[in-house]
């Protein structure tokens, strides 16, 4: 199996350096990142969602947002609760919103109530130093109410909450809807997914702290 250390491609682990360089490819080596045709609905949705996510995570002033109507915008998670843009900021940003849970604090391996924007960003940038990729797998409907299936994925190449990196692929799948107003600005977003699928992939490493080793076990409870 090819590895980055021997010059292979980690994202296509069956390809050795020799395979990459010496094989006669029809249109280059295979790439499993989804690339939609230019001008397609799928490309429009992927660009919209990625730009929206970038603004939500990185822009400090709502007046600088281009994709959404800041005053009326709401974000819903699994149909349980909706957050205004102000509340997203108060909670500590996107990771702490997306990892909201009704589990008792004693059963939370990641507790969004105890994390800040800075601590959450640091934790996940450390876990996924090469990024946590997002891709649209299928678009079910176009604007004004966009519905799609997505995949979030990356390799655990850094530690998480005292657990050593595994190098394994971590991924989860879900669906989402984006509701646009007459000016094509996003006013309502809903995501549906299992947060435990993400966190379960991050708790497989060996513990560097005995107290972490005694944390609650079982994927749902580590959520």
Helix (H) / strand (E) element for 83: namely strand 81-84
pLDDT digits (tens, 9 = 90+) for 88-109: 999 998 899 999 998 999 889 8
pTM, 2 dp: 0.78
pLDDT at 45: 96
Least confident of 11-20, 21-30, 66-75, 86-95: 11-20
d(CA 215, CA 115): 18
In this structure, how many other beta carbons lie within 10 angstroms of the beta carbon of residue 163?
21
pLDDT at 216: 47
pLDDT at 213: 44
d(CA 215, CA 221): 10
Q: Of all residues in the chain, what percent carry a pLDDT higher than 70? A: 80
> Is residue 206 a contact partner of residue 163, using CB atoms and an 8 Å limit?
yes
- In angstroms, the Cα distances linking 52 to 8, 70, 92, 110, 113 are 34, 12, 17, 25, 24
Q: Give SS3 for 32.
A: coil
> Is residue 222 a contact partner of residue 109, using CB atoms and an 8 Å limit?
yes
Least confident of 30-34, 198-202, 211-215: 211-215
Which of 81, 83, 90, 85 shows the shortest CA–CA distance to 116?
90
Residues 6+ away with beta carbon under 8 Å from 54: none
pLDDT at 176: 98
């Amino acid at each position: 199996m090819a590895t980055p250390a021997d010059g292979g491609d980690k994202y296509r682990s069956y390809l050795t350096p020799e395979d990459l360089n010496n094989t006669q490819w029809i249109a280059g080596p295979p790439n499993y990142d989804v690339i939609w045709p230019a001008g397609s609905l799928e490309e429009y949705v992927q660009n919209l969602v990625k730009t929206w996510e970038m603004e939500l995570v990185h822009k400090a002033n709502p007046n600088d947002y281009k994709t959404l109507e800041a005053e009326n915008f709401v974000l819903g998670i699994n149909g349980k609760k909706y957050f205004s843009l102000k509340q997203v900021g108060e909670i500590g940003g996107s990771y702490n919103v997306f990892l909201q849970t009704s589990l008792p604090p004693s059963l939370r391996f990641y507790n969004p109530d105890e994390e800040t924007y800075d601590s959450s960003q640091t934790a996940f940038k450390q876990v996924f130093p090469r990024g946590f990729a997002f891709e649209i797998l299928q678009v079910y409907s176009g604007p004004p109410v966009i519905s799609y299936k997505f995949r979030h994925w990356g390799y655990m190449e850094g530690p998480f909450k005292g657990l050593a990196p595994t190098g394994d692929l971590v991924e989860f799948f879900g669906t989402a809807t984006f509701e646009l107003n007459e000016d094509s600005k996003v006013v309502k977003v809903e995501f549906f997914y299992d947060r435990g699928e993400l966190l379960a992939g991050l708790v497989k490493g060996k513990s560097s702290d005995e107290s972490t080793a005694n944390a609650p076990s079982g994927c749902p409870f580590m959520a």
